[in-house]
Amino acid sequence: MAVLKKIKGSTLMETLVATILIVIIFMVSSLLMNNLLFTSINSRNDGIKENLRVLKYQFSHGEIELPFYEKRGLWEVSVEKRMENGISVIYLKATNNDRNKSFIDKLILN
């Protein structure tokens, strides 16, 4: 009866330790992926930068009047005209007070 040979198996303790190690590795990798995804989503600023480019285009084509103020979600956007050394400069500024971030773009008028 060669079919009924005894097959070496693992003990219950070895199985539990292996299962716990697999669960711990899965939890750590899951937390790491969650942190990477959260950081990636929060660091995206493409939408507000595109909005500043649109406002710059609209101002250069006379579609908005100054001063211009707008709130987009968490961002406060302003377009203002200032004088610097006798030159008219248009400041386009987007500020997010929750994250302490701001973007400033300048447009020099002739």
Q: 102 pLDDT exceeds 70?
A: yes
Structure confidence at residue 100 as a pLDDT band (50, 70, 90): confident
Q: Could you give the strand order of the β-sheet that contains 87-96, starting from the edge strand earlier in sequence?
A: 68-72, 75-84, 87-96, 101-108
Residue 77 has pLDDT above 80, yes or no: yes
Q: What is the pTM of this model?
A: 0.62
Largest CA-CA distance found in the chain, in angstroms, rounded: 104
Give the model confidence (pLDDT) of 12-55 as tens digits: 898 999 999 999 999 999 999 999 999 888 778 888 999 999 99
Q: Domain extents for the chain?
A: 13-42, 46-108
